[in-house]
Chain A
Amino acid sequence: MQLKTIPERKMNGQLVVAEHEQYVSFMLGGEEYGADITRVQEIKGWDTVTRVPYTPNYILGVVNLRGAIVPVIDLRMRFGLDHVPFEPTTVIVVIRVAAERGERTVGVVVDAVNEVHDIPTANIQPSPDLLGGLIDQVFIKGIATQGGRMVILLDIEKLVNSSIGVA
């Protein structure tokens, strides 16, 4: 399934924050998280992952994505949750972010993918410190309430880059 990405709008070189932002939301350990849709390239079905030595536990390995070698991160393990066996329905969320040398494509495994939320920027609040320390604050852009539920908005770019082992 390929999601359309909205080009970021720039005016005078400044990123213009739209009135609405779109997030792809997913479940992880009972919580709902959101990732900026412009960073989500596609959702891929589960594929054989080749294990790579000398990497942290939460890096499952690499997969072949149409000829590209893409690392896959298990977000549960990344956040210190215990590993849950993968099912045939487990999906890989393919993220594309800016990196030191151009761009980087990384796959991320979550519990389940939900839907795309259209979140008015006004609804986004800074995240309070008392989130329980599951994820480092630095990776959280903010909190939004959508349809009565709390969605934790991630800075997916920072999260992915730091997980790969680079700043």
Chain B
Amino acid sequence: MTTTILAVDDSASMRQMVSFTLRHAGYEVVEAVDGVEALEYARGNVVNLVLTDVNMPKMDGITLVRELRRLESYRYVPLLMLTTEAGQEKKLEGRKAGATGWLVKPFNPDKLLATIAKVL
């Protein structure tokens, strides 16, 4: 059974970088360009983990987390935010919205994989 990860980021290069790292580690990756696309996908599909950027147009990462937690199928799926620097308020806000945790950008591939391995 493959582990599928949903990666959400409005920057194509970021998405591709994350996909690239995860795929080479054996994960299946689904990409979404913003919260709206991600939510739509989530309504019909369940994944093992969601990685989302915070600053996105249309629907930001924190709102996405909040909306995902409202879905029955996503109540117990780990949701990780990709934040920049040590923006504390965003982290706390995210946690309040139901995020499992976060990864601070920039992160290297090893850190990404280690963090994911922790929660899966």
Q: Do chains A and B touch in the complex (CB under 8 A)?
A: no
B residues apposed to A, CB below 8 Å: none
A residues apposed to B, CB below 8 Å: none
